[in-house]
Structure 1
Amino acid sequence: MDDADPLLASRLWRPKRVIVTRSALAWEHGRGIVERAAALGLPVEELASDRLGIGDLGYAQAKSTLAIVVAPPGKLRFQPIAPSADWRIDLAEGCPAHCSYCYLAGSLKGPPITRAYANLPEIFAALPAYLGQGKVTSRSRARAHEGTTFEASCYTDPLGIEHLTGSLAATIAHFGEWQADAQLRFTTKFASVEPLLTLAHNGRTRMRVSINPPAYARFEGGTAPVAARLQALRRMAMAGYPMGLTIAPIIAAEGWREAYAGLIANVAAALDGAPDPDLTVELITHRFSPTSKAVLDSWYPGSALDMSAANRAEKRTKFGSVKHVYDKPTMTELRGWFEAEIARALPAARVLYWT
């Protein structure tokens, strides 16, 4: 694989509007984001207060807006994020991509702008209190070697905005020098990993790529091509990072076996010859809630993504809300096929979970 193939160049987000709050400017990291945006020729609007004034933004305007803000106190009280990791840490909230299955549609309130957090030192200072306290890897015999795990891509794609924020590199460097039994994790649909390749990560950050067959790429607008993501995976593996695949959302459309078999074969080819990629796999099927479906239908009215009741069952979450997941026969067929195919094509990979 040619690591310099220009046809696989990543797509870098260039927001049309960048705003920064007064409090964010008080942080060195916040000022650094402003400088990065300005260096790219993006106009930056400095607000006189901490009020963003975005209540009437439509989807297109919101998706092209970056707000540099201070993470509120609630973001410094980390939440469990099973089955991925022990704890969720948010470096930002919101994503510049246009995925017509986006789960953030039912999770985040208000216009879908991207908020990048300026107060990284406060986020880092909150980490030690959570060591050994999680219930996913901290107390798992199978994954205890990962230490306490912190997931950085629950409410954002940190690599998709890294050229503007520098937050992911700063967090990887922090974990790399932190003398603790802990690991950072992030997953991405982007491919511009250049700023991360030379960091002293010390094997304490697992980079995962979120992938689907190229045939389903029409549901992932504004992201890097799947081939570029796999190239990025190889480059990170060559730089010594532990690796992972997030195959999500698994879509049981016509021809799914052939499509996903080709995808898994492409992963094997991308990692061929890479030194001990320590590869994990997370398998997440497509699901949606009535709330997220309504939002996504308004955002992407022409999407061909099937969100009908066919082959679906209702699942109650621990909070009492409803999600529509594939029915049991479909789930059983999907799971059996994926586990067998991964074992065949990627025998060294570890499947962490199916959901």
Structure 2
Amino acid sequence: MVSDNVADLIATFRQLPTAKASFATKYVNRHLLDLDPAGRTRIRFSVMPDRDAQALDIRTSRVAERIAAVDDFVEAGYEVHLNLSPVVLRDGWAEDWTTLLRQLDDTLSPAAKRQAAAEVILLTHNRDLHEVNLGWHPRGEELLWRPDLQQPKRSGNGQDNVRYRDDVKRAGSSGCGR
């Protein structure tokens, strides 16, 4: 919404028969519905259970609004996928994700379901981002920064991150403590 870059990219990829634009978002920009992506742009709406979104997804479109927008974007010619992320392991996480998946099933049209794909992403975090977040959103960090449950991980780009320990992932909700 700040510039015409997204509209320009959608127009460019509309003309490229062997390439597709793809971007993830937590914001529903309905101005994109006025463009003609001609099936050459994929939007990946990030969704998570409402309980997590209330603590983590501030200054974004509400998850229900993102889900409600999927059918409109499919009808407008976009390929729409879902990023189910981040999966935050805490007490009640599995039940909350079950509720979200049922909401998706109850809300999305058959056309949206036929073309949809999803990626499930367990929480990955890093100390630098943790320090930044402490300055502007410390409440969210209570869920994200859990050294008692996390282990170091070197990402593909060389960044030092943390992720849930293997035993924590195997155990699922037991022992998550929050």
State if a TM-score over 0.5 links the two structures.
yes
Where does residue 9 of structure 2 map in the other structure?
A: 171
Match of residue 310 from structure 1 = 148
Partner-residue secondary structure (3-state), 1:263: helix
Q: Where does 1:338-349 land on structure 2 (aligned, <5 Å)? A: none
CA contact (8 A) 1:237 1:277 kept: no
Whether 2:126 is the aligned partner of 1:289: answer yes
Residue identity matched to 2:51:
A
Aligned counterpart, 1:254: 91
Report deviation, 1:183: 0.5
- Counterpart secondary structure, 1:227: helix
Question: 1:338: which partner in 2?
Answer: none
Q: Which has the higher helix share?
A: 2
Aligned to 2:176: none
Q: CA deviation at 1:177?
A: 2.1
Given the alignment of the two structures, is residue 190 of structure 1 paired with residue 66 of structure 2, yes or no?
Answer: no
- Residues 318 and 244 from structure 1, CA distance in 2 versus in 1: closer, same or farther, beyond 3 angstroms? closer
Q: Number of residues paired by the alignment?
A: 170
* Inter-partner Cα distance in structure 1 for 2:114 and 2:32: 16
Structure 2: unaligned runs, 5 residues or longer: 173-178
Distance in 2, Cα, partners of 1:301 & 1:231: 30
Alignment RMSD (CA, Å):
2.0
How far apart are the structure 1 equivalents of 2:36 and 2:157?
40
Query: Larger Rg: 1 or 2?
Result: 1
Deviation at 1:198, TM superposition (A): 3.8
Aligned counterparts, 1:18-29, within 5 A: none
Partner residue of 2:73? Answer: 236
Name the TM-score, length of structure 2 as normaliser: 0.85
2 CA distance for matches of 1:273 and 1:319? 38
What is residue 46 of structure 2 aligned with on the other side?
Answer: 210
Deviations 1:85-130 (A, max 9, x none): xxxxxxxxxxxxxxxxxxxxxxxxxxxxxxxxxxxxxxxxxxxxxx
Q: Percent identity?
A: 26
- TM alignment of 1:49-128, pairs within 5 A: none
Q: Which runs of 5+ in 1 are unaligned?
A: 1-161, 335-355
Contact 1:271/1:277 (8 A) holds in 2 = no
Letter in 1 for 2:87: I
Q: How does 1:330-341 map to 2 (within 5 A)?
A: 330-332=168-170
Per-residue displacement from partner, 1:264-319 (whole Å, max 9, x unpaired)?
11112221333664111112111212222222212223443241212211112345
Query: TM-score, normalised on structure 1?
Result: 0.45
Higher relative contact order (CA 8 A, sep 6+): 2
Match of 1:97 in 2: none
Answer yes or no: is the 8 Å Cα contact 1:242–1:277 preserved in 2.
Answer: no
**SS across alignment from 1:253:** coil
Matched, 1:226 2:68: no
The answer to whether the 8 A contact 1:203-1:242 is kept is: yes
